[in-house]
Chain A
């Protein structure tokens, strides 16, 4: 037990150290533009953690996280669009002849309600969707198809409602937040710091959920759901909870991405984007958490680099990357590193004698229990 506690302490230390490095060192190294880019990628890493939770650990491939990401983004954007003199409407509404603020925009005058919406709307929607799907024991590819169908519904809804959400253009041109200019470098730096903090916090929540009895049960559900039922568990409850948490995480990610990119549009609910999220996790390594973050940063930086250099080939590269991961590195980069005995990523102890003896459980047992 003592050993376990020590490991946890080290992990917390490493997370804090990385967070401080990102907050203190990176701003000195990177230009304002690059820092903003990093901030955006880190918010994408938050949603990747959510995907890893539901896909990597629970085995449910969601192709609909763009919905939750988009909803979080729209929630914060609606608040920002309401930062106008009293009595005025958000600028785009005038274009479409809207004279009165739609009722559902009203709560977004309030900052606390907005923050609650960022988390609760995606979370509850995911919970509801999950409940309907899981209660009927739909799983595997049917779940993926349903989430993808949901993405199309939401995309078309937000895309079509010009009066309500400015249609295809989405919500853009944010002005102020608490009196500070949103696009100002200082404000953006605060957003960046908050992103890092929330990424670390999300990582913490995911680690908590995936270790201990609950986490092991998720793995059990992933590997053999009906067996879990015969042990007296109702897997539906567990899957609904995890999907809801995963959706809420995506909402938070969407909000951070939106304030740093300065816009949110129906493209966030585009199917391709939701699939990309899955690719990030696959590249980094499923069911590793850290892999989700690594994969997101790697793929997005590769994209930035390649599309700056050779704009045309990015999509080919992304496809190739996915194929490579699926065929050569099924456990992703982190999974592969772990299997390569690289100590940084390994959870096992140092090898003291012959590997075969170290690995043999019988020998280990005798060493520990005989002769003492």
Chain B
């Protein structure tokens, strides 16, 4: 039996009449690695905003593990087990990578437990392991602002994992990276997919080919088509709105 980790039912988001999402129906199984593609303005980032509570759906509902997320603030949704990586790396530049991971991995995020509890050995080892996974052990204790763009991307993915969410939302993780870095991020995501459900938004088709099992194409706020990479790539509508345009 395949339980759904994420479902959206008829979600519409309109900004002053402009429908960024238009009756979007989407669902994703537990443990799935899904890639969402679509031309600029297709509503990809708004889609993540709706899931994480940054934007409220005008109509429709978003279910996470069967639970309606309506009117929950962002931090509560995050605590339910949804982690988000932003398009441009959003890390804390004045802290070190280790401290960045430590903040997100904190198991109890109330004010007073943050103030009085200290991180235990298990947590520290966990962070050590994570630093190794994202290849930042050597730079664990310098200011994160000094990291290269690729390292920042990796660090933010690490922070996402440190949060130990059930669902990872990853927004354009390879934008601005070299081919080699892109490949490494792909491998990292595939490794993480062993134990997490991951939703990736991406433009880079080469990268999508590397990681995708199932691809969803968004167009003008709705799902245009869905299927494995080859199916999507050969779909005439997709070629028309998206792939074709890229070759011009």
Residues of A within 8 A of B (CB): 209, 212-214, 216-217, 219-220, 223-224, 226-227, 229-234, 237-238, 241, 361-362, 364-366
Contact = CB atoms under 8 A, between A and B. Distances in A.
B75 A229 contact: yes
A219 B92 contact: yes
Interface of B: 52, 54, 73-75, 78-79, 83-84, 86, 90-95, 99, 102-104, 106, 109-111, 114-115, 117-119, 137-139, 141-142, 159, 163
A223 B93 CA distance: 8
Contacts of A214: 114-115
A308 to B, nearest CB: 41
A220 B100 CA distance: 9
Contacts of B52: 230
A213 B103 contact: yes
B114 A213 contact: yes
A220 B95 contact: yes
Nearest to A239: B111
Given A214-B115, A227-B86, A361-B138, A234 B75 contact: yes
A227 B99 CA distance: 15
Contact of A229 (B73, B95, B138, B159): B73
Contacts of B137: 365
A361 B84 contact: no
Nearest to A209: B115
26 contacts: A213-B103, A214-B114, A214-B115, A216-B103, A219-B95, A220-B95, A224-B90, A224-B92, A227-B92, A231-B83, A232-B75, A232-B78, A232-B79, A232-B104, A232-B109, A234-B75, A234-B109, A237-B110, A237-B111, A361-B138, A361-B139, A361-B142, A362-B139, A365-B137, A365-B139, A366-B138
Contacts of A234: 73, 75, 109
Given A213-B103, A361-B139, A365-B137, A220 B92 contact: yes
B48 to A, nearest CB: 10
Contact of A362 (B95, B138, B163): B138
A365 B109 CA distance: 32
Contacts of B138: 361-362, 364-366
Contact of B78 (A216, A229, A361): A229
Contacts of A213: 102-103, 106, 114-115, 117-119
A219 B95 CA distance: 8
A216 B114 CA distance: 10
Name the residue in A224, A233, A362 with the highest tally of chain B Cβ atoms < 10 Å from its Cβ: A233
A278 B117 CA distance: 32
A212 B118 contact: yes
B90 A227 contact: yes
Nearest to B102: A213
A319 B34 CA distance: 58
Contacts of B163: 231-232
A241 B111 contact: yes
Contacts of B84: 230
Contacts of B83: 230-231
Contacts of A361: 138-139, 141-142
A231 B104 contact: yes
Contact of B111 (A226, A230, A238): A238
Give the top 7 A-B pairs by smallest Cβ distance, nearest first: A365-B138, A232-B78, A229-B74, A237-B111, A232-B79, A227-B90, A361-B139
A226 B219 CA distance: 28
A229 B78 CA distance: 8
A217 B114 contact: yes
A243 to B, nearest CB: 12
A220 B115 CA distance: 15
Nearest to A238: B111
A227 B152 CA distance: 14
Contacts of A362: 138-139
A250 B73 CA distance: 33
Nearest to A240: B111
Contact of A223 (B75, B79, B94, B102): B94
A240 to B, nearest CB: 8
Given A213-B119, A216-B95, A365-B137, A233 B109 contact: yes
Contact of A220 (B79, B86, B103, B110): B103
B73 A216 contact: no
Contacts of B99: 216
B149 to A, nearest CB: 17
Contacts of B139: 361-362, 365
Most chain B beta-carbon neighbours within 10 Å: one of A217, A220, A223, A230: A230
A219 B114 contact: no
Nearest to B107: A232
B38 to A, nearest CB: 22
Nearest to B141: A361
Contacts of B91: 227
Interface centre among A219, A229, A237 (most CB of B within 10 A): A229
